């Protein structure tokens, strides 16, 4: 499925569509170049799920935890990982198999550790403000 996002004002609608598309699936993997808007989209997803906290990139902490409406939300950024062992040391399985939402940036860094089922979201930059989201269930 593809979804054009012409500007940041359309991001909340896009986030709602992604959550609806995901249905019972709670693991979302985000692929896109640096600066494509992965964290910005995840902020909108968290707000759609009832988070009132400030959403920030977990670039240095690797994972941030937020309280959503009725569930926890885990936001991962694996960009700085030097090896998959760092994710093992983090105890990624406890997060991924918790039944809570997991939003994962740079999942290619832990390709061998990914769960068998998830929603894949590719973000393509079309211009400074416009993005094309392509997503599907794996």
Domain count within the chain: 1
Mean pLDDT of 29-37: 93
Could you read off the pLDDT of 67-103 as tens digits, one per residue?
Answer: 989 889 999 999 999 999 999 888 999 999 999 999 9
Residue 36: predicted pLDDT: 92
Say which CATH number the domain at 129 has. Answer: 3.40.50.300
For residue 84, the enclosing domain spans 2-137
pLDDT exceeds 90 at position 108: yes
pLDDT of residue 133: 96
pTM above 0.85, yes or no: yes
Q: Quick one: average pLDDT of 107-136?
A: 94
pLDDT band per the 50, 70, 90 thresholds, residue 110 = very high
| 110 in Cβ contact with 87 (< 8 Å) | yes
- Which DSSP symbol is given to 91? T
* pLDDT top residue among 122 and 54: 122
Checking if the pLDDT of 132 tops 80, the result is yes
Q: 20 φ, ψ to 5°?
A: -60, -45
What would the two tokens of residue 101 be? 């939402």
Report the pLDDT averaged over residues 20-32.
96
């Amino acid at each position: 499925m593809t979804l054009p996002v012409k500007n940041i004002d359309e991001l909340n609608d896009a986030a709602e569509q992604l959550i609806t598309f995901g249905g019972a699936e709670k693991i979302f993997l985000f692929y896109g170049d640096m600066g494509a808007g992965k964290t910005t989209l995840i902020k909108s997803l968290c707000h759609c799920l009832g988070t009132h906290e400030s959403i920030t990139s977990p670039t240095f902490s690797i994972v941030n935890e937020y309280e959503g409406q009725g569930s926890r939300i885990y936001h991962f950024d694996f960009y700085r990982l030097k090896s998959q062992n760092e994710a093992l040391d983090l105890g990624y399985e406890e997060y991924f198999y918790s039944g809570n939402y997991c939003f994962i940036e740079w999942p290619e860094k832990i390709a061998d550790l990914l769960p068998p089922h998830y929603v894949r979201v590719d973000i393509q930059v079309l211009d400074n403000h416009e993005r094309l989201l392509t997503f599907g269930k794996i």
